[in-house]
Chains A and B, each alone.
Chain A
Amino acid sequence: MSKKTMAIKRRTFLGSAMGAASMVALGAPAIAQRKTVHFGASLPLTGPYEKVSKVYKDAYDLWTQTVGGKVSVGGQDADVKWTIYDDENKAARTAELTERLISSDKVDCIVGTYGTDTVLAQGAIARKYERITMQAGAASARVDEQIGGHTTFTLIGPSRNYPTLAIDHLAKQNPKPKTMAIITMDDPVYQEFAAGAIADAERHGIKIVLNEVLPMNTQDLRPTVLKIKRAGDVDIIYNTGWDLICIKLIQECVALDVNPKAIVGGHLTTNPVVKETLKGQLQYIYGITNWLPQMAYKDKYYANCQAFADKFQATYNYAPTYHAAMAYAIPYIYQHVIADGSEGDPLDSKIMRKRIAALNNLESVWGPIKFNDKGRILTPGVPVLQWQGTDPKVVVLAPDALANGKDLYPMPAFNKRG
């Protein structure tokens, strides 16, 4: 272990020495020897996060294609190389694979896995080697507490704040909602969403009549919806779960004729499967989303999010979710910080850490990039949307800066629609 640390230090030393030497000799930027930049990650490619992992993998790949497989390292072209392993969503496996990525594969830039425990495991190993990681797969506050800032930078906003804008927004509606039922998936990050939603609701005097915690592999939402129905008047149903849970929730609300004033479908209502499945039933459903192709962010290669989304769709034959923009932004950020060789080896962890921490609203398709001292991206909150029209389309309702329409509230009963 100490040998490996030595090796890294020696490389750093040699790198800077050579950099200094060539600067002296040629007066040119350093690190002429570097032929490749090696990116490495593990992802839960099999298991419950299989689908979302594929989005991450494709987004990493899209970045590589976008840059033509070459990036500049301290002014010199280098080939991009990737090594991605399957961590099966197991923390121990992730630790082992991260160890392998650092010691045997000798990766330069570590990008995130997906899921809180695996991200924490990855960070723990990276920390041991004094390396950095950049991740977009764990919103949990535990990441900030344990590895944030010194080891890990996180592109996703804190999960605690996910529901805040949505609940603030709903609390302003007329008639004001008084009660809320919440569906929580039994996983730390979803528990944090739910805790945030409950705190936000209580701040507005909205009573939580039911907080239903469901196992991750729940197949049937009817028992849950029956329980909501039997809980009496429920003004808001808030789903913290993913797209499939949202679909089943709404299907069962239709089936049992459960009609709250508003249903918040969660953070994945924009996944195409939701509209494909629910069609007109998606009308009036609220959602939250970090990212939409309509948003006006851009980077060096894409003039707006729509251009990025179109390219993604054309390349992988499915529409990108917010994960795609977020994952794509990770190598993009690395690319930005390693381009400059003026302070020595730009791939040195210390230099990368310093530069990433210093980013001041770097433009990207994921929005402006700036981190707090815990390595967490600074975001204004997660925008609120509603599906409107008989062929439902997304209308952004909050924050005001992004809003392009007005609420349809309260939602008419399912069986009283044309």
Chain B
Amino acid sequence: MSEIIEIIIFGTLRGAIFALAAFGFSLVLGVLGIVNFAHGVFVVLGALITWSLTAQIGINIVVASLIAAGSMGVLGVFIQKVFIDRVFKLHPLMILVQTFGVAVVATQLAELAWGGGERSLKVEFPGPALLTIGDIYIPTWDIVIFVISLIAAGVLVMIMQMTPLGRAVRACRDNIDSASLVGVDVGRVFLITMGICGIWSGLAGALVITLKPTGPYMHFFWTLDAFLVVVIGGMGSISGALIGGFLYGIINFAAYYYLPNQAPAIIFATLIALLMIRPQGLFGLGTTVRK
């Protein structure tokens, strides 16, 4: 019994990071209606910039994480303005190809800057390294990261619900034409959405590099993970992505625990089944059809 509890706990802890990395993906899919294949680049670059600022320059990790997240926000805006915006009116497939290209180029550049290998950061956290619940050991740092992820999700939900900006983003997520006809500058909302996506995904990267080695080539895993989280949770909704992240974390952990060698197949089979039963995701706001 405690085996299952452990799997659920560890899966949920990992799931928070998956969720944090997927919020932006979900928003961009919901608002712009595009699958951004360069999404994982935000996570990986956020991680590597945090590493450079902390390990090479000696900046405090909290500040470094915020700078990294912020610069990913700028990168998001840049990618939107320079690339996606220009082909947006073409076929959606063109955006897939284009963002894939952006991912390849960004990865090559990152490899020039950081090399092809992995980097990781060790954070010295005051207090005990492990917390115990009954006979279950939980690394304290994992809990810290879990809490940071939840706070980041909460901030995003508040921005979306309470601010004019959030309303405008939600309006566009819902119906771009209608939003535009009540005065919402859709182009600007797209820019902001990509900016938000960059910031939150970059923050995820900053946390990831304290958990495991991260290298430029890993961007695609993160794109895929984000995609799967959104498939489970449903696009566009932050709480959906959060719960999707937790579920994905648990499915992932359980699969690698019980049948590691078949894990990828099990994970994808679960997702295919989910898509058949509920194509809009468990908490989706609507159908996954491009508006």
The answer to whether A and B touch directly, with their CB atoms under 8 angstroms apart, is: yes
Residues of A near any B CB (own CB < 8 A): 50-51, 54, 186, 212-215, 217-220, 222-224, 226-227, 230, 244, 247-248, 251, 254-257, 273, 276-277, 279, 318, 415
Assembly CA distance A254 to B122 (angstroms): 12
Which residues of chain A come closer than 8 Å to B257, judged between CB atoms?
223-224, 226-227
* Residue in B10, B120, B130, B221 whose beta carbon sits within 8 Å of that of A222 in the complex: B10
* B6 adjacent to A226 (CB under 8 Å): yes
* B264 adjacent to A50 (CB under 8 Å): no
What string of 1s and 0s marks CB contacts (under 8 Å) between B237-261 and chain A? Answer: 0000000000000001110110011
* A248 adjacent to B212 (CB under 8 Å): yes
Cβ of B212 to closest chain A Cβ, rounded Å: 6
What string of 1s and 0s marks CB contacts (under 8 Å) between B215-234 and chain A? Answer: 00100010000000000000
Contacts A222-B253, A226-B10: A257 and B130 contacting too (C-beta < 8 A)?
A: yes
11 A-B pairs whose Cβ atoms sit less than 8 Å apart in the complex: A50-B116, A51-B117, A215-B264, A217-B221, A220-B14, A222-B253, A223-B10, A224-B257, A230-B3, A251-B212, A254-B129
Which residues of chain A come closer than 8 Å to B118, judged between CB atoms?
244, 247, 273, 277
Assembly CA distance A227 to B261 (angstroms): 14
Residues of B near any A CB (own CB < 8 A): 3, 6-7, 10, 14, 115-120, 122, 129-130, 137, 139, 141-142, 212-213, 217, 221, 252-254, 256-257, 260-261, 263-264
* A214 adjacent to B137 (CB under 8 Å): no
Cβ of B6 to closest chain A Cβ, rounded Å: 6
* A220 adjacent to B117 (CB under 8 Å): no
Find the residue from B130, B253, B256, B257 having the highest chain A CB count within 10 A: B256
Chain B, residue nearest A229 (CB): B137
Cβ of A112 to closest chain B Cβ, rounded Å: 21
* B137 adjacent to A318 (CB under 8 Å): no
Which residues of chain B come closer than 8 Å to A279, judged between CB atoms?
122
* Residue in B3, B115, B117, B137 whose beta carbon sits within 8 Å of that of A256 in the complex: B137
Assembly CA distance A262 to B254 (angstroms): 27
Chain B, residue nearest A280 (CB): B122
Assembly CA distance A277 to B55 (angstroms): 11
Contacts A222-B14, A223-B256: A255 and B142 contacting too (C-beta < 8 A)?
A: yes
Chain B, residue nearest A222 (CB): B10
Contacts A226-B10, A415-B130: A248 and B213 contacting too (C-beta < 8 A)?
A: yes
* Residue in A50, A54, A212 whose beta carbon sits within 8 Å of that of B260 in the complex: A212
* Residue in A214, A248, A415 whose beta carbon sits within 8 Å of that of B129 in the complex: A415
Find the residue from B137, B212, B252 having the highest chain A CB count within 10 A: B212
Assembly CA distance A290 to B7 (angstroms): 38
Which residues of chain B come closer than 8 Å to A230, judged between CB atoms?
3
* Residue in A54, A218, A247, A318 whose beta carbon sits within 8 Å of that of B120 in the complex: A247
Assembly CA distance A244 to B117 (angstroms): 10
Which residues of chain B come closer than 8 Å to A256, judged between CB atoms?
137, 139
Cβ of B16 to closest chain A Cβ, rounded Å: 14
Contacts A54-B116, A244-B213, A247-B213: A219 and B253 contacting too (C-beta < 8 A)?
A: no
Contacts A51-B117, A222-B10: A217 and B264 contacting too (C-beta < 8 A)?
A: yes
Nearest 8 pairs between A and B by C-beta?
A: A223-B256, A223-B257, A255-B139, A213-B261, A277-B120, A214-B260, A273-B117, A51-B116
* A214 adjacent to B122 (CB under 8 Å): no
* Residue in B141, B213, B256 whose beta carbon sits within 8 Å of that of A218 in the complex: B256
* Residue in B115, B213, B252 whose beta carbon sits within 8 Å of that of A318 in the complex: B115
Which residues of chain B come closer than 8 Å to A224, judged between CB atoms?
256-257, 260
Assembly CA distance A224 to B217 (angstroms): 23
Assembly CA distance A227 to B173 (angstroms): 43
Assembly CA distance A337 to B118 (angstroms): 39
Assembly CA distance A212 to B256 (angstroms): 10
Which residues of chain A come closer than 8 Å to B252, judged between CB atoms?
220
Chain A, residue nearest B140 (CB): A255
Assembly CA distance A217 to B122 (angstroms): 23
* A223 adjacent to B130 (CB under 8 Å): no
Chain B, residue nearest A48 (CB): B217
Assembly CA distance A318 to B115 (angstroms): 10
Assembly CA distance A50 to B264 (angstroms): 22
Contacts A244-B213, A415-B130: A223 and B260 contacting too (C-beta < 8 A)?
A: yes
Contacts A54-B116, A318-B115: A220 and B256 contacting too (C-beta < 8 A)?
A: yes
